[in-house]
Each structure stands twice: as C-alpha cells, then as structure tokens.
Structure 1
Amino acid sequence: MKLFLVSLGLLALTSCSNPFDSSKHGTIGGIQVDSSQWNAMHAKYKESALFHRRFKHKDVDSLIQVHQKSNLFQIDQIGKSVEGRAIFELAYGKGDKKVMLWSQMHGDEPTATMALFDLFNFLEGKGDGFDSIRTVLQENLNIRFIPMLNPDGAERFLRRNAQSIDLNRDARANQTVEGALLKSRAKSFQPRYGFNLHDQNIYYNVPNTKNPVSISLLAPAYNTERGVNEVREGAMQIIVGMNKILQQYVPDAVAKYDDTYTPRGFGDNFQSWGASTVLIESGGMKGDPEKQEIRKLNFIIILNALIEIAQGSYENYDAKGYEEIPFNASQMHDIVIRGLSFGNDSIPLTSDIAVRRGENTIGGDYFVRGRIEDIGDLPESYGYDEVEAEGLKFIPAKIAPKPLPNFAALTPAIAYDLLKKGYMGVQITQLLPTEEGLLHNLPIQVFSKTVFATTPFIDLGGTANFYIGDSTGKLKYAILNGYLIDLEKPLKEAGLLKNRIQ
C-alpha cells in the first residue's frame, strides 16, 4: 500500500522530538496515514442524506436540526433569503485562529456543501483514532461555516439568487440580502482565513492535456496589479499543501482559476479585508456526474487545510509552488470525433466534431440535450470520450418504423436492439399521464406526440443524434443525445444516460 505525506500539519500531532523527521511522515498520534485511511474516514462520515447534486434547502435544514442536537456546534439562523428561506451559520472551536467557510453562494454549485456536512459528521465523531485531530482543531480554531448561502438558487438549481443577481458579484454594492449578510458576518467576525467554495464547469482541462480539471484552486487577487502581500501569500501556501495531497488522488488534474482582480467578487474582497482566502472550484471527472468523488476530495483538502492552519504548518510551504500550478484551459468536450467523413457525393468533407451535453433541470432531477459544439480542425480540443474516426463516416439516425403500444413494452434490451439496427427514436402510442415527460435511462429517444428530431447532416448547434459507421454502412458507434455508445460492446452506459420522453 502506498504511503504518502498527508500534510506537514498532521506531523505536529506526533510526540517525536522532531515533528518533521522523514521517518515519521504519515503518522498521526501513532497511526500510519495513507490514502486508504483517508478514503475510509470519508466513507465513514459521508452524509448519506446528500447523494446527488440537486438537493434542496429542506434537506439542508433537516441536517442542521440533526447537528443542533449534538451540542458540538453553536448553530444560528443568521438571516433569510429573498424568498424567506433560513440561512444558517455553524460555529465550531474555541481557539483564536478565525476561519470562515461559505458554500453554495451559487445555487447550482453544491459539491462543497456536501463535503461540509461530511466534515460536520467527522467533527462529531470520536473513538476512531482521530480524536487528536479534533482536539487540535477544537483548541486552535474558531470556525464559522455557512453551508448554503443561496437557498433560493439551490431550490431552482440556478447560479443566481431569486432576484437574478450573482451573489459573488455583490461584495461591493451589497444589493442582495444574501450578499449583505455574508459581508456583515465577515466584518463582525473578522476571519484571518477564508474558504470560498464553488463548482466550475466540467469543460476546463489542464493546459495541453486531455485531463479534465477535477479541482481548481485560487488565491484571489486583492488589487488590480495582482500583488502578493503577506495575506495573499498565506493563501498561496495553503494551496500548495492542498495541491500536494490532490496530486496523490488526481495527478495532473489540478489547475488554478483565473486570477484577474474582480472588485465585485467576494474572494477578492475577503483577501483585501485581511483574510488569507482560498477559492476551491469543483470541476469534472469522468464517470462522476454527481461529483461524489470530487466531494471526497473537498472533504480531504478542507480538513487537511484546517489542520495546517491550526498548527501553523502551512507556513513551511514555499509559495513559489503555487505559481507552478497551471491555469485552467477550456478545451474539453463530452465527445471529440476526429477525422469523420460527413460530406456528400459532390462535396466530400472530413473533419473533427466536438459534442457537449447541456443539463435541463426538472424538479429535483435533470435531463440532457446533446448538441454539436464545434466542427473543424480541432487537434487542441479534447473529449471525456474520443473517437478516432479515420475511414469512418456519418450515418443519419432513423425512427423505428413500428410504434410500441406502451412504455412498459420498451425494455432496455429492446431499446438497445433498436439502437444497434439504426433506430434512435421510437414512438409510444399510449403513454400514461404520469409517463408524459418521464425521465429515463434507456438507450433510445422516446416520443409520443412530439416527433423525435433526426438530422440528415452535421449541423453546428444541432442535435447530437447520429451514427458512425464504416464504408459498408456497418454501425460502430451511436452518438445518442450527446452520449457515446460503442455498439460492438454490451451496453454499460445506461445508468449514466439522462433522457426524457418527448
């Protein structure tokens, strides 16, 4: 089992005379710490009530009431959103190092909120061999957590608040009740450290690689010149520690967010108010649409950073390591098809195609619409999935010639058999009222009165429903609603498909 250095801060928990003795790396209170133990820690304390991204304020409210009973946190309702939803703050610790963490100021950016509730569970734990960590945190830190600043946005799974204002662009004007609340809490508490917790889109990549950025970090600028004072340098040092542990989990999948000074932004203002502030942006990871693995990374790096702050050990990092982290590039797509033939007999054309999927929120869930994002010479573009299509050609999708009587007649096996025969859409003649608009993960488009959209050509911005086949017309791949399905393999992607009856 690979053993690695979790953080210098953890080393100070040992009783050895030299806490930085290399022979003691990975030891916490006599326990050897490796990735499997971090994983086990998160698995034990992962909040099971939050298991997908589209949870609501009521879910957070219920969990707050549970933690209220533990008496570990001082929990206060510090305000209400525009639509009257409660905004809570949890206070923890009796130390003199003040730390403030706030999450979900954008309603559709919930990954860190899940991680915070995992962290609350950990802090309430005991007798698991990690009590020495809790003692260090409790005795050295004074923490304020705001787990959901924008409950109205969370209710709609939208970025902005109920007034359509971006809370992270309201630090200067304080036009919103939620933005004004965050600023007032910061001014009264006067934190020395801040954590601004967000999600970024999944199409950022590490420059010149096909690696999606799983975690993006930033020590925000406090002035237009992007100067580095003691406060910002402290944030950089904390990030160096985060990056060290992230490289053990997601090597070459970490980047920096754009550091252009934003006078309206809260991170930039917290930095100027004297709080060493770290921005964490949860990005993308193949096979993790609900960001549960990235949630775990948030839990680990936030807990790691809090330990380092408690011990002061982050100061041992060289801030130059921060500059070595590359900035985000934006070259990712869901699918990139390279060298596909899709012209016609009179005007042949072979080119690259990029596909992206857009999410459409419906209730507490969502469905997907795939579209053609780009066409042309795309060697600098990358895909979560890629197809080398030299010698292959575009083949239009068809609608199944025979409708099915009801939705129950459409099994996954029947749907996949139709798909492999060139049919991407099937009509259901008698849908129940409860089935209209139903979300499903079948490998086919289902429609009743609305005709499924097929296209005889590749159209920029158009639907991504077509086949890729060889010169004989044999179908090799289906691009179904922006998902790539290898027709020569058993269907494994069905659980990830997010389609809707039209």
Structure 2
Amino acid sequence: MKDLDYNKIMVPTISRRYINYDHINEFLKTLPTSFKIEVVGESVRKESIKSITFGSGPNKVLMWSQMHGNESTTTKAVVDLLSYLKQDIAEVLEISKSCTLKIIPILSPDGARDYTRVNANGIDLNRDAQDLSQPESHVLKAVYDEFKPDYCFNLHDQRTIFNVGDTSKPATVSFLAPAFDQDRNNSPSRILSMQLIAAMNDKLQKEIPGQVGRYDDGFNANCVGDAFQMRETPTILFESGHYPGDYDRDKTRVLIYKAILKGIQVISKGTISDYTVEQYLSIPENGKQFVDILVVNPNYIENSITKTEIVPIQYREALTEGEIVFKPQLHHFDKMPKAIFGHKTLNCNDENDILWLKEKDLLQLLS
C-alpha cells in the first residue's frame, strides 16, 4: 500500500529540538475519543506522565519516548504517528482491529524541561531497570506489567558522532535487538526483534540507502531494553541520528515515523516471518568516526600554534531561553579511529572557509 502523504499528517506546531509536555498537550487535546489518554504517574517534580492508547486488537505494542529528556526526535515522530492514526482510512481501521498501541510520549518530563539526559534526581532512567529507584522507572514498569505488551519500542536519539560501519555515511537511524544475557545469545523474543528491525531497515534503505546502522549490543541488565528482553518481550531500540545539515532533526523525524509505522504494519498484517535474522545481521554496526566540524590544515592559520593537520570540533547542545543552541568545542576521541569524517569540513587553505571560521568564532579553538 502506498504511504499516505506525510505532509498531510505532520504536526507542524511541534518542531525543533526542545520538546516538553507544554508543546504537545494542545495536540493531545485534538485527539478523538477513540484515543484514550491517561495520567499514568508523576515525575520527581510531580509533573504528570501521560499515555495514549489506540486500538483494541490482540497485538499489543508499548512504546515510550524521551526516557532521556534531551532526546526529542522520536517524540515528534510519535506525535506524527498519532496524527496518522486519526485518519479515516482502511489501513488505520485494520491497525485498530489488529493492534492495541500504548504510547508514553515523554517518560521524563523533568528531563525534557531541563533538556538533560537525566531526571531531576540526576539519574539516567535507562540505567535504572533493576534498582527502580526513580518514580519514572516505576511508571514504566507499572505500565509494562499491566499492559503486558507483545512488543516494546524503546525510542531514543543518538549523537552525531556515529557513522555506518567504516563508511563516511552518517548513522541517520540505528536499531538494536537488545541482548538478554552476557553471551548475547538469541532467544525467541530477540529473534522476533531482529526480524522486525529487518522489516524497518528494508523500508528505510529505500529512503536513506547506507545510512542505517546497528547499535552496540553489549548486555546491561540495568538498561530497560535488555531487562524487557530478559522477560521475553521482543524489544527494539530506535536511535534517531544525524541527517546531513539537519540539526533540528526534522528529516530524521520523518524517517523514524516511517520506521515505526512499518513496524506496526508488519505486526498488524502478521508478516514478520517474511524477514530474517540474517537480514538484521547484515546491517553494519555503528562506528564513532564523525565530528560536527573537521578543520584541516589548521597550521596555515596566521598565529596558530597548532602543529596538527586536523582539528575535530563537536557541538555541545545547550538550552538557552527555550531554544537549543549548538556551542562548538574541541573533541577528544576515546580511541582514535583510523579515519575521521566531518559533517562539515573546513580547509584553512581556503579563504572562504577561513571567513566562515571567523564568522562562527571558531578561530579561538584553533589557537
């Protein structure tokens, strides 16, 4: 079936990188009564955490976004998904009859307001699956226990450092079928996760060929995806990454929306067996070889004391007056890669590039 025109369902009032409940509440009020909106708990600062339930079918899918408050791309994507599900079309009716979807659009309201990875107590909720030390962690576990999902979609953003394999292609979207044990064995639930990712990758390769990566599958029982996989629930990690020039991640938003919808369609139609573990394993693993700005030949800048041939610069995201600003800083690799790629490359032999450096106040980083 041909996709519905995205421009007809995209919610333009919810945009940019800074997203909290203030941004989405007005849209949630527009949802018809076929969507059940509930307050399922509270954050550390007592802000309501909401869920939206759609459909009444036997295939139950639980998804949550902004477990890390500064990872908002998937929140925009699930808002677009909800907008799609409002459409009076045959495929939406089919989904509603075959699936029950439960979506927590922002699991960490305090982290979303502060634009931080951690919650108001400074805890990473995605390392709290066993301790359950935070109210937001209890909310997710309670929803999981009550809903008893057949599939979980764990929705995140990833940094701009990731490339696909050893290539110079950015990992615009990455997936992972989390491990359930230290040896990273396969189980029936993990195999289903792999097959569903293979289906979504098949969709995305037509949109962004070579720009889909596979996230590191090191086992950590404290991570929610691994913990749910341990409970034999097929769980998929979504990582929204960088599309060239798209620091607001509007293009990545569209791709995540399409990936989520493809996953739901496959579950709804019962066609998951059309895809294989081998197709999942063929997705290259992520590398960490990108920086936001790669300056080459910096020793040619007048008065520069650097003797290196390149200077890697990475943006730090900061919340300033309700907007996210990108502040450049020197980047230090944990392990120097064999090749370094820049989302923007500037050559100090080029007068135009030097002018750009001056305009962006980057010259001070090179001295």
Same fold (TM over 0.5): yes
Conserved in 1, the CA contact under 8 Å of 2:20 and 2:106?
no
**Residue 386 of structure 1 aligns with which residue?**
345
**Residue 102 of structure 1 aligns with which residue?**
64
Query: SS where residue 341 of structure 1 aligns?
Result: helix
Match of 2:366 among 455, 458, 478: 458
Please give the per-residue CA displacement for 1:6-46, whole angstroms capped at 9, x wherever unaligned: xxxxxxxxxxxxxxxxxxxxxx3xxxx2xxxx4x6221111
Please give the per-residue CA displacement for 1:452-491, whole angstroms capped at 9, x wherever unaligned: x964x835xxxxxxxxxxxxxxxxxxxxxxxxxxxxxxxx
**Residue 8 of structure 2 aligns with which residue?**
44
Conserved in 1, the CA contact under 8 Å of 2:56 and 2:98?
yes
**Residue 11 of structure 1 aligns with which residue?**
none
Change (3 A) 1:65 1:344: closer
Structure 1 length-normalised TM: 0.68
Task: Give the Cα–Cα distance (whole angstroms) in 1 for the partners of residues 117 and 161 of structure 2.
Answer: 17
Match of 2:44 among 82, 93, 97: 82
- Partner amino acid for 2:37? I
Conserved in 2, the CA contact under 8 Å of 1:340 and 1:393?
no
Query: SS where residue 218 of structure 2 aligns?
Result: coil
Q: Do structure 1's residue 198 and structure 2's residue 198 form an aligned pair?
A: no
**Residue 172 of structure 1 aligns with which residue?**
130
**Residue 56 of structure 1 aligns with which residue?**
20
The RMSD of aligned alpha carbons is: 2.5
Q: Do structure 1's residue 211 and structure 2's residue 169 form an aligned pair?
A: yes
Query: SS where residue 75 of structure 1 aligns?
Result: strand
Task: Give the Cα–Cα distance (whole angstroms) in 1 for the partners of residues 193 and 214 of structure 2.
Answer: 13
**Residue 337 of structure 1 aligns with which residue?**
295
**Residue 55 of structure 2 aligns with which residue?**
93
After the TM superposition, which residues 216-227 of structure 1 pair with which residues of structure 2 at under 5 Å, given as runs? 216-227=174-185
Q: CA deviation at 1:344?
A: 8.7
Change (3 A) 1:139 1:356: same
**Residue 242 of structure 1 aligns with which residue?**
200
Q: CA deviation at 1:338?
A: 3.4
Relative contact order, higher structure (CA 8 A, sep 6+): 2
How many residue pairs are counted as aligned between the two chains? 363
Q: CA deviation at 1:368?
A: 2.9
Q: Do structure 1's residue 279 and structure 2's residue 243 form an aligned pair?
A: no
Q: CA deviation at 1:55?
A: 2.2
Q: CA deviation at 1:444?
A: 5.8
Task: Give the Cα–Cα distance (whole angstroms) in 2 for the partners of residues 45 and 219 of structure 1.
Answer: 29
- Partner amino acid for 1:239? I
Conserved in 1, the CA contact under 8 Å of 2:160 and 2:292?
no
**Residue 6 of structure 1 aligns with which residue?**
none
- Partner amino acid for 2:184? R
Q: CA deviation at 1:297?
A: 0.6
Query: SS where residue 171 of structure 1 aligns?
Result: coil
Change (3 A) 1:89 1:293: same
**Residue 72 of structure 1 aligns with which residue?**
34
Task: Give the Cα–Cα distance (whole angstroms) in 2 for the partners of residues 231 and 80 of structure 1.
Answer: 30
Please give the per-residue CA displacement for 1:34-82, whole angstroms capped at 9, x wherever unaligned: xxxx4x6221111122011102221222222222xx1111111111111
Q: Do structure 1's residue 369 and structure 2's residue 277 form an aligned pair?
A: no
**Residue 97 of structure 2 aligns with which residue?**
139
Q: Which moved more, 1:312-321 or 1:152-161?
A: 312-321
Moved over 4 A (4+): 342-345, 347-350
Query: SS where residue 250 of structure 1 aligns?
Result: coil
Task: Give the Cα–Cα distance (whole angstroms) in 1 for the partners of residues 55 and 30 of structure 2.
Answer: 19
Change (3 A) 1:136 1:353: same
Conserved in 1, the CA contact under 8 Å of 2:127 and 2:222?
yes
Change (3 A) 1:132 1:373: same
Q: Please, which runs of 5 or more residues in structure 2 have no aligned partner?
A: none
Q: CA deviation at 1:290?
A: 0.7
Task: Give the Cα–Cα distance (whole angstroms) in 1 for the partners of residues 223 and 59 of structure 2.
Answer: 24
- Partner amino acid for 1:208? D
Q: Do structure 1's residue 259 and structure 2's residue 217 form an aligned pair?
A: yes
Task: Give the Cα–Cα distance (whole angstroms) in 1 for the partners of residues 137 and 81 of structure 2.
Answer: 25
Conserved in 2, the CA contact under 8 Å of 1:342 and 1:350?
no
Structure 2 length-normalised TM: 0.92
Query: SS where residue 291 of structure 2 aligns?
Result: strand
Bigger radius of gyration: 1
Conserved in 1, the CA contact under 8 Å of 2:295 and 2:346?
yes
Conserved in 1, the CA contact under 8 Å of 2:298 and 2:366?
no
Task: Give the Cα–Cα distance (whole angstroms) in 2 for the partners of residues 198 and 271 of structure 1.
Answer: 17
Change (3 A) 1:387 1:343: closer
Task: Give the Cα–Cα distance (whole angstroms) in 1 for the partners of residues 301 and 101 of structure 2.
Answer: 61
Query: SS where residue 100 of structure 1 aligns?
Result: strand
Conserved in 2, the CA contact under 8 Å of 1:198 and 1:279?
yes
Please give the per-residue CA displacement for 1:301-340, whole angstroms capped at 9, x wherever unaligned: 1111101001110111111111111111101011223344
Task: Give the Cα–Cα distance (whole angstroms) in 1 for the partners of residues 326 and 248 of structure 2.
Answer: 14
Task: Give the Cα–Cα distance (whole angstroms) in 2 for the partners of residues 168 and 317 of structure 1.
Answer: 29
Task: Give the Cα–Cα distance (whole angstroms) in 2 for the partners of residues 275 and 348 of structure 1.
Answer: 53
Task: Give the Cα–Cα distance (whole angstroms) in 2 for the partners of residues 151 and 343 of structure 1.
Answer: 46
